[in-house]
Structure 1
Amino acid sequence: MSHDRIKTTLLAIAALGLAAGLALLAAGLPVQADLVWTAGVVPVLAALLIEIVRSLSRGEVGLDIVAALSMTSALVFGETLAAAVVAVMYSGGTFLESFAEGRARREMSDLLSRVPRTATRRRNGALDEVPLDDIALGDLLLIRQGDVAPVDGTVESDRAILDQSALTGESMPVRLLRGQEVMSGSTNAGDAFDLRVARRAADSTYAGIVRLVEAAQASRAPMARLADRWSLLFLLVTVALAAAAWWLTGDPIRAVAVLVVATPCPLILAVPVALVAGLSRAAHFGVLIKGAKPLEALARITTLILDKTGTLTDGRPQIVSIGVHGTWSEDEILYFAAALDQASKHPIAQAIVAAARERGMVLPVPENMVETAGEGVAGTIDGRNLLVGGAKFVASQLGTTDIDGAVAETGSVVVSLGVDGVLAGHLVMADALRSGTAEFLAGLRRLGVGRILLATGDRRAVADSITAGLGLDAVRSELTPDQKVLLVLTERKNGPVMMVGDGVNDAPALAAADVGVAMGARGAAASAEAAEVVLLVDHLDRLLPGIEVAQRARRIALESVAVGIGLSILGMIAAALGYLTPVEGALLQELIDVGVILNALRALRINPRLGAASAEPEAAGHRPA
């Protein structure tokens, strides 16, 4: 029998026993009522004692002991009705806690429930339904309307309309064109389209997300362990107050009343519910936090260390400007360069091709292609002899002056184009700063991040150029992976540190930080494994709602504990002074517990004030040219 089903059964037994006993008492059969109440309490008490023994064997002392003491003492001193009420209240409280946690986990559980098991593959002119493990790189899949993309790939049809809300929180579907990337886990919201497989199922975005979700659901928060430590103090206070009430008045019923007021306790209800609700809410905004522990740590961050390439910048070379020579136009320069670069797998070549396609250019197939590795490509397009490559390489081939120093800025690369033996123009490429970076950093300051640093392996001149005007507290350049770790450890002396990166070289620093954040679920596997937080899409500003949700969820947990414990102590004092009977005390405590859980569930409705707009950015892949 599952744990949740056991809780449901115990609640049903306790509630049935209480109701039946009340019916017998109303019928003038008090002895039989006592027996029925006792029968309803014993199974709950037995299950509770078993759980206490298990906890003690693990070295954990919790507030379940108070519940066991209250039910046992009530039975011993003949307060069977109070014992029955406590049994219903305790089993009801644990059931409500379980229900609330299930409700709070729904966002992440939805991710797990949507995992596709099979895919429709095109092969030899036919469609076959095949298991995910049988899908190979390069296979062509048919994604029908309503289907979930089972693997990462590229659109092979003219267009695709995808709902990525389960992954990113984006409420509007995105429109992708031929050749653009599709994240596994996206739902086809338009007509059927073909998907070319780029990653096997086990290596795809969605599989990685599912593994991270499963890890997140199995964690406990530092605040939950802190609640365990507080619970020992609360247990001692409860027992001492009950003993004092009995000793000073000679009335054991007052001791029973004190014990039942303390059962169950807001400490064991509020913290897990609030923090799990925070995990769920953060996932809604595309921020996957691996557990309640990093969520609680995320709420206390005071220092942020950012990697540069792929984090502060897009990590992909983009065309900054196009220079022309003679009568050529910018579009013609881009057209010829991109057409020839289709034959190269170099990242810069692929960036030029992508830029041309974003402008709607239809590129012809190059002929007579010859590539000089790392230098450039020669070939024929539309009957013209073309040469595309680094400025020095093209200049040497054409016998012209090298233009690299004349047009390149710090951190940029110049790609030159020669047409029929004459220099036709050049494209200036750079890894551009992410749009909205200044606003993102200002938002971090408002959330209490007092110190922001850049840590990069690039040259100092490149680092200074890319961060000019951002107001960073420090820029550390030319760092090796172990030097990044040392920087993290040094900054930890000033407070909790968050490190954000996306490459394999960032993994050690991510692991060393209080909170490591990996950029994008498709980033380097090592960085995603080492990080406690993964941004499900490649938008750095998603950190803002993630941090704000963490801070407010932690605040809600603390508020619930403080108010719940305060009211419980007041109720215990009233019981010790004789103002509450055991039954009245049990009913009062149940009202407190219900209020605590409902307050903790407020974390599900957190609406971040900062960065919430990033949950609905422009369609992925559609950047202005």
Structure 2
Amino acid sequence: MRSSWLQSVGLLVVSAVGLLVGGVAWFLGASRVADFAWAAGAVPVMIVVAASILQALRRGTTGVDVVALLAMGGALGLGQYLAGAIIALMYSSGGALEGYARARAGRELSALLGRAPKVATRYEEGGLVQVPVEALRPGDLLFIKAGDVVPVDGLVASAEAVLDESALTGEALPVAHPRGQRVRSGPVNAGPPFELRALCSADESTYAGVVRLVRSAQASKAPFVRIADRYALLFVPFTLALAGGAWLLSGDPVRALSVLVVATPCPLILAAPVAIVSGISRAARRGVLIKDGAALETLARARTLLFDKTGTLTSGQARLTAIETQGTQEPEALLRLSASLEQASQHVIASAIVSAARERGLALCLPTGAQEQPGAGMLGEVEGHRLRLGSPAWVGGPEALTRWTRGVLRRMGYEGCSGVFVSIDGRLAGALLLADEIRPEAPRALRLLSRAGVRRTVMVSGDRAEVAETLGAALGVDAVLSERSPEEKVQAVLSERAAGVTVMVGDGINDAPALAAADVGVAMGARGSGASAEAADVVLLVDRLDRLVEAMLVARRARSIALQSVAVGMGLSLVAMGFAAVGLLGPVAGAVLQEGIDVAVILNALRALGGGGLSPAGHGLPEQTVRHLRTEHQELRPVLERVQSLADRMDALGAREQHAELVELDGLLRERLLPHEHRDDSELYPKLARMLGGEDPLGTMSRTHREIAHLGRLYHRRVVDLGEAGPDAVEQRELRRLLYGLGAILQLHFAQEEELFEAVS
């Protein structure tokens, strides 16, 4: 790639220097020196063009380069050296622009490629030595440090290995492998260091197999046909026929040369690359690396999008999604105690629980006597309470499988999430549910992709069917393909390609073959694997799915401008060809006129440097304001959880306990949540409405605020009317109904607002 760009730059320099030296010599009266300099600037370009045409003919194709070669050759053969030099400069400029785009993409991509393991730590003579992965052999005992990529397939030789396998399988949550279990190369060690007994060499490992799949998929792609070459099918025969007819009728070969000079397809050779490179530059400013013009042109015509799930439509990281409590235990207290104990664990799930507690501003304390049982859970003391965290059997033994526990396990199965059960002082107190959440920008991105011309969206995942289908239903994709291996993902892509131009979006090692097989492969490069970034044609350097929407809009604008420039430029060239054919335009004058046409279409093509984004300039809230709004939502999450939890726990509470908690929740709603909703409606929404435009863009959202306020007032009146003895059976039923309704509308409203914040950030 780099050598091709250097050749293009070299030709540009040679032709430019030849034209300049010839111009100076002509001005000084040295016409022979000028002719020689102009010829010297054109000949190297002719040689390269001729070689390129021969290569194309061997592949059974041709293009507009034929006209350029004939024009340069005819100009030199008939002594029109200046015209030849001008044509050479125009041709080499277009090649240099395309080469620059490819070289720039290659430089930026090199920073992303580094995930593939290059060295491994091996036991040798009682010590640890770093060796190249190529040196690994079956039977070697390896030491896999925390955060390392497993370099080869092998057997776990330690008590346990906790691996992040999302890049291979699509499973977002880490997987624990006990001693003696086989693991594949590619996952990241998400737990403490462990030992691995190698079963094969690096060339025979799972990762190497994926690389071979990538190469095979890339080889199966049909060759791309440039805009210039597509137009050449009609333009080249017409030009040759017109030039030949002018020569035949006039008997003057210069007449034919004049036609060829003004027919030199510089709008194709130059304007189209300028528009395409401008589009690539525009996309790069928005954090999207498009590797070459072929990728941009193809992306502009995409109609079908396939998405991986983990790390693409979801965040790829475990997050606390719900707190289930039993008895009188409050959700916030359960989380605080659990997170305090989990501070002593290196498990990635523990990190997610601790992060959730800190996001809610909970004060954590240091545990004592903390012990971690690999594959089971944690135990220890926090503030004088004995805690156990882990599976139901570890937390409470066989008797822990109560009706409540089975209900939580069913919910985990339905929603495709994981759970950490918690016992306090020997009594099962609750469970913390964790899942790989949908990216905040994903729903909006899918809607915008539909408006941008995408007709079909398909989710292709290696994850379990129930998890993938739940997510697909939430996002509204057209089809869900679950439990797919890398080979099956390639087959899915090839099947969709038969119906039209197809884009595949992914981030893991297991996505790389499918990315290579698609018409356009898009990698989530901010956190994705090097294999996927290398196989892809487009890399999202910013970890946001909506940047793909921008890339498509930019690509379509750039391609539209390129076609517009080509149409206008070639139209003007056709008019000039008519004048040249009847002898009203000579070769040099034609070359100068063609230069004027080139300048006009290039200026038009440069419009692709701007526009094509999702929103006009200045559209959006300040980043600090958006951060503040998100923080407010995070701080109010415990109130939402309290609403749901109290509705669930009312039957387990005594009458006076019910009264106390109902009154306390009423205070939280009136002092924290309802004032927040009122401020949003009166202060934030008017600002957003002005940005979004239209008569009343946030009318439905304001209606939700009014409904929340209405339910809050009803709840307050019922709580005020309660006696000290607490609610009776009828009052309990009405209060529970109110709490469930309020909780549901708050959850939906918060989700809508957070998506709105993504849109204006």
Q: Would you call these one fold, judging by a TM-score over 0.5?
A: yes
Q: 1:7–1:489: structure 2 CA closer, same or farther, 3 Å change rule?
A: closer
Higher helix share: 2
Q: Which of 51, 54, 59 is residue 51 of structure 2 equivalent to?
A: 54
Look up the equivalent residue of 1:339 and give its one-letter code. S
Q: 1:404-459 CA distances to partner (integer Å, 9 max, x unpaired)? A: 33343522333222222233433232322222433222111111111112233444
Q: Which of 29, 45, 56 is residue 42 of structure 2 equivalent to?
A: 45
Deviation at 1:100, TM superposition (A): 5.3
Corresponding residue number in structure 2 for 1:93: 90
SS at match of 1:523: coil
- 2:486 paired with 1:485: no
Mapping of residues 375-414 of structure 1, within 5 Å? 375-396=376-397, 401=402, 403-407=404-408, 408=411, 410=414, 411-414=416-419
SS at match of 2:264: coil
Q: 1:398–1:445: structure 2 CA closer, same or farther, 3 Å change rule?
A: same
Corresponding residue number in structure 2 for 1:260: 261
Mapping of residues 407-486 of structure 1, within 5 Å? 407=408, 408=411, 410=414, 411-468=416-473, 470-486=475-491
CA distance in 1, matches of 2:88, 2:443: 52
CA distance in 2, matches of 1:36, 1:505: 62
Look up the equivalent residue of 1:11 and give its one-letter code. A
Deviation at 1:460, TM superposition (A): 3.9
Q: 1:378-403 CA distances to partner (integer Å, 9 max, x unpaired)? A: 01234432211234532328858363
- 2:301 paired with 1:300: yes
Q: 1:566-602 CA distances to partner (integer Å, 9 max, x unpaired)? A: 2212211111022223332111111112223233332
Question: How many residues are matched?
Answer: 514
The answer to whether the 8 Å contact 1:343/1:366 transfers is yes
The answer to whether the 8 Å contact 2:22/2:37 transfers is yes
Q: Which of 591, 594, 599 is residue 594 of structure 1 equivalent to?
A: 599
CA distance in 2, matches of 1:498, 1:288: 15
The answer to whether the 8 Å contact 1:384/1:419 transfers is yes
Corresponding residue number in structure 2 for 1:353: 354
Look up the equivalent residue of 2:48 and give its one-letter code. E
CA distance in 2, matches of 1:315, 1:481: 18
Look up the equivalent residue of 2:309 and give its one-letter code. K
Deviation at 1:464, TM superposition (A): 3.6
SS at match of 1:58: helix
Q: 1:37–1:519: structure 2 CA closer, same or farther, 3 Å change rule?
A: closer
CA distance in 1, matches of 2:110, 2:495: 42
Q: 1:251–1:91: structure 2 CA closer, same or farther, 3 Å change rule?
A: closer
Tell me whether 444-453 or 42-51 shows the greater mean CA deviation. Answer: 42-51
CA distance in 2, matches of 1:255, 1:329: 90
Q: Identity of paired residues, percent?
A: 46
Q: Which of 577, 593, 598 is residue 582 of structure 2 equivalent to?
A: 577
Corresponding residue number in structure 1 for 2:190: none
- 2:251 paired with 1:250: yes
- In the superposition, the TM-score normalised over structure 1's length comes to 0.71
Corresponding residue number in structure 1 for 2:657: none
The answer to whether the 8 Å contact 1:257/1:581 transfers is yes
Deviation at 1:21, TM superposition (A): 2.7
Look up the equivalent residue of 1:596 and give its one-letter code. V
Mapping of residues 66-465 of structure 1, within 5 Å? 66-67=67-68, 69-70=70-71, 73-74=74-75, 77=78, 80=80, 83-84=81-82, 86-94=83-91, 96-97=93-94, 225=226, 227-228=228-229, 230-231=231-232, 234-263=235-264, 265-325=266-326, 328-361=329-362, 363-396=364-397, 401=402, 403-407=404-408, 408=411, 410=414, 411-465=416-470
SS at match of 1:403: helix
Corresponding residue number in structure 1 for 2:641: none
The answer to whether the 8 Å contact 1:548/1:610 transfers is no
- In the superposition, the TM-score normalised over structure 2's length comes to 0.60
SS at match of 1:608: coil
Deviation at 1:13, TM superposition (A): 3.2
Corresponding residue number in structure 2 for 1:532: 537
SS at match of 1:494: coil
SS at match of 1:483: helix
CA distance in 1, matches of 2:514, 2:383: 50
CA distance in 2, matches of 1:53, 1:103: 22
CA distance in 2, matches of 1:615, 1:114: 32
Higher RCO structure, 1 or 2 (CA under 8 Å, sep 6+): 1
Q: 1:311-369 CA distances to partner (integer Å, 9 max, x unpaired)? A: 22223232222244566543332222112223334332221122123334454443322
Q: 1:105–1:476: structure 2 CA closer, same or farther, 3 Å change rule?
A: closer
Unmatched segments (≥5 aa) in structure 1: 25-31, 116-132, 140-197, 199-219
CA distance in 1, matches of 2:533, 2:544: 15
CA distance in 1, matches of 2:98, 2:291: 16
CA distance in 2, matches of 1:296, 1:374: 50
SS at match of 2:397: helix
SS at match of 1:554: helix
Look up the equivalent residue of 1:586 and give its one-letter code. A
Corresponding residue number in structure 1 for 2:120: none
Q: 1:287-307 CA distances to partner (integer Å, 9 max, x unpaired)? A: 223333322222222112222
The answer to whether the 8 Å contact 2:87/2:261 transfers is no
CA distance in 2, matches of 1:452, 1:111: 29
Tell me whether 458-467 or 558-567 shows the greater mean CA deviation. Answer: 458-467
Q: 1:138–1:501: structure 2 CA closer, same or farther, 3 Å change rule?
A: closer
Corresponding residue number in structure 2 for 1:502: 507
CA distance in 1, matches of 2:76, 2:291: 44
CA distance in 2, matches of 1:381, 1:40: 86
Look up the equivalent residue of 1:378 and give its one-letter code. L
Mapping of residues 511-590 of structure 1, within 5 Å? 511-590=516-595
CA distance in 2, matches of 1:270, 1:137: 53
SS at match of 1:538: coil
The answer to whether the 8 Å contact 2:109/2:534 transfers is no
Look up the equivalent residue of 1:555 and give its one-letter code. S
Q: 1:458-509 CA distances to partner (integer Å, 9 max, x unpaired)? A: 4444334333354322233344444333332222222122222233333333
The answer to whether the 8 Å contact 1:101/1:272 transfers is yes
Corresponding residue number in structure 1 for 2:139: none
Q: Which of 5, 9, 16 is residue 11 of structure 1 equivalent to?
A: 16
CA distance in 2, matches of 1:493, 1:339: 55
CA distance in 2, matches of 1:545, 1:376: 44
The answer to whether the 8 Å contact 2:496/2:502 transfers is yes
The answer to whether the 8 Å contact 1:318/1:429 transfers is yes
CA distance in 2, matches of 1:451, 1:506: 19
Greater Rg over alpha carbons, structure: 2
Q: 1:39-92 CA distances to partner (integer Å, 9 max, x unpaired)? A: 3322123223332343245346665554554455456556x5xx32x1452244
SS at match of 2:498: helix
Look up the equivalent residue of 1:396 and give its one-letter code. G
The answer to whether the 8 Å contact 1:496/1:514 transfers is yes
Look up the equivalent residue of 2:244 and give its one-letter code. A
Deviation at 1:266, TM superposition (A): 2.0
Deviation at 1:273, TM superposition (A): 2.6
CA distance in 2, matches of 1:584, 1:436: 56
The answer to whether the 8 Å contact 1:544/1:611 transfers is no
The answer to whether the 8 Å contact 2:42/2:88 transfers is no
Look up the equivalent residue of 1:310 and give its one-letter code. G
CA distance in 2, matches of 1:619, 1:533: 29
Deviation at 1:559, TM superposition (A): 2.0
Q: CA RMSD in A?
A: 3.9
SS at match of 2:315: strand
The answer to whether the 8 Å contact 1:224/1:272 transfers is no
The answer to whether the 8 Å contact 1:274/1:556 transfers is yes
CA distance in 1, matches of 2:590, 2:621: 46
Look up the equivalent residue of 1:386 and give its one-letter code. L
Deviation at 1:377, TM superposition (A): 0.7
Q: 1:228–1:495: structure 2 CA closer, same or farther, 3 Å change rule?
A: closer
Corresponding residue number in structure 2 for 1:149: none
